[in-house]
A = this chain, B = another copy of it.
Amino acid sequence: MQSFQPAKNILMGPGPSNVAERVLNASARPTIGHLDPTFIGLMDEIKVLMRYAFRSENRLTFPVSAPGSAGMEMCIVNLVEPGDKVIVCINGVFGGRQKENVERAGGVAVVVEDDWGRAIDVEKVRAALKENPDAKVLSFVHAETSTGARSDAKEICALAKEFGVLTIADTVTSLGGIPLMVDEWGIDAVYSGSQKCLSCPPGLSPVTFNGRAIETIKKRKTKVQSWFLDLSLVIDYWEGDGARSYHHTVPVNAMYAMHEALLILREEGLEQAWVRHQENHLLLRAGLEGLGFQFVVPEAERLPQLNSVYLPGSIDDEGGLRRRLLDRHQLEVGGGLGAFAEKIWRIGLMGHTATKDNVEYCLNAIASEID
């Protein structure tokens, strides 16, 4: 066995996306202590930058020391107590995972279901809220990574507020790629991932909680079932003026990377990043349609950063073709997940990967292999 030398692939799957040299270099700076005053200063900067990315003034905004799945679990196990009713919107793998988490937290899930590849139907959400006046929480996925569909987070949250229900949003794939206005839309608890449109290495989950969410957590009658994800404990490390109490040892070097990636986002400007994702999506769309691919998701509900497509009928070996793209072209594109396994491709244009050069490279590589 020898030191690992990964290829320099172009990552156009559903994440991770390509990580900028600046971010990789930042992550390789000397490790310092997680209670070192300069590290506490870094944490404070990360919170400020992350609020910018989330478009939120929420004080409690930080990266969970684990991947997006743990961020999802943090939101759910802190807001849901045994017996609580939760309306869960499912239109793909990750809504299903929310339901699984709700039930493991002892919650009662009421499912609003929609077709894979479509947005959540807001009228179904309204009906579920009407039928379940005792619901405490509504959870949904803003950008379904398994299908490439974008749901109307603004409308869903407005409805939930009308019915006095708390909202949990999965923004793993949306943060940094499409408009996400946590405060303006009034989302109460939000989790995301580091490795999508923020273009950090995988391993951290940005989260943000507003005052309503924190009040709900403070009023819990039972302890949060997870010690590692218990916000009432984690908060003493990430918040507080001056001294912080030790909870767990955070991934110090991963935080360097997150800080650098957020700096890059701020330098470009969040709105400009949204525009860049959209422009490159349009380029990719034109090229893919020219090659005979068809989009899974109707245009109005599409995520620019995650293009899910049916392959041209002439291709009967999707796995083999993906493997050839990887082996011969150092190009990773994603396959389908769950009900879409072996049926679709997911072509990501996330964060640092979303450039015109990459779009052209991808289209040329596919064209050369299917010719």
Which residues from B are CB-within-8-Å of A260?
A: 3-4
**A222 nearest CB neighbor, chain B only:** B104
Name A7's contact: one of B38, B224, B337 (CB within 8 Å).
B38
A290 contacts B by Cβ under 8 Å: no
| A15 CA to B32 CA, complexed, in Å | 9
8 Å CB interface, A5-21 against B: 5-9, 11, 13, 15-16, 18-19
Top 6 nearest A-B pairs by Cβ distance? A203-B251, A28-B28, A66-B66, A201-B253, A69-B248, A24-B28
Taking CB atoms, residues of chain B closer than 8 Å to A67 are 65-66, 228, 248-251
Partner of A104, one of B37, B223, B256, B257: B223
A49-83 residues at the B interface, CB under 8 angstroms: 49, 65-70, 73
Judge whether A95 is part of the interface by a CB distance below 8 angstroms.
no
Q: In chain B, what residue has the closest Cβ to A106?
A: B225
**A250: chain B residues within 8 A (beta carbon):** 67, 202-203
**Which residue of the partner chain, among B6, B24, B32, B65, contacts A11 with CB atoms under 8 Å?**
B32
Tell me, rounded to whole Å, the shortest Cβ–Cβ distance linking A197 to chain B.
Answer: 14
A40 within 8 A of B: no
B11–A249 CB distance below 8 A? no
> Counting CB contacts under 8 A, is A272 at the interface?
no
* Cα of A68 to Cα of B250 in the assembled complex, Å: 10
Instruction: Report the minimum CB–CB distance from A256 to chain B (whole Å).
Output: 6
Tell me if B3 and A18 are in contact (CB < 8 A). no
Q: Mark A174-195, 1 if CB is under 8 A from B, else 0.
A: 0000000000000000000101
Q: Which of B19, B37, B254 contacts A201 (CB 8 A)?
A: B254
Q: Is A91's beta carbon under 8 Å from chain B?
A: no
Supposing A39-B6, A226-B104, A249-B202 touch, asked if A332 and B32 sit within 8 A by C-beta, the answer is yes
Does A48 have its Cβ within 8 Å of any Cβ on chain B?
yes
Is A1 part of the binding interface, using a Cβ–Cβ cutoff of 8 Å? yes
CA distance A48 to B1 in the complex (A): 10
Q: Is A249 a contact partner of B193 (Cβ separation < 8 A)?
A: yes
- Is the C-beta of A122 less than 8 angstroms from some C-beta in chain B? no
In the assembled complex, the CB of A242 is this many whole angstroms from the nearest CB of chain B, namely 13
A36 interface residue, CB < 8 Å from B?
A: yes
Contact (Cβ within 8 A) B28 A25? yes
Pair B332/A33 contact, Cβ less than 8 Å? yes
Indicate whether A27 reaches chain B with its CB closer than 8 angstroms: yes
Question: CB-CB < 8 A to A24: which residues of B?
Answer: 28-31, 253
> A257 CA to B7 CA in the complex, in Å?
16
Q: Is there an interface contact between A251 and B254, defined as CB atoms closer than 8 Å?
A: yes
Is A150 located at the chain interface by the 8 A CB criterion? no
Does B225 lie within 8 Å of A104, measured CB to CB?
yes
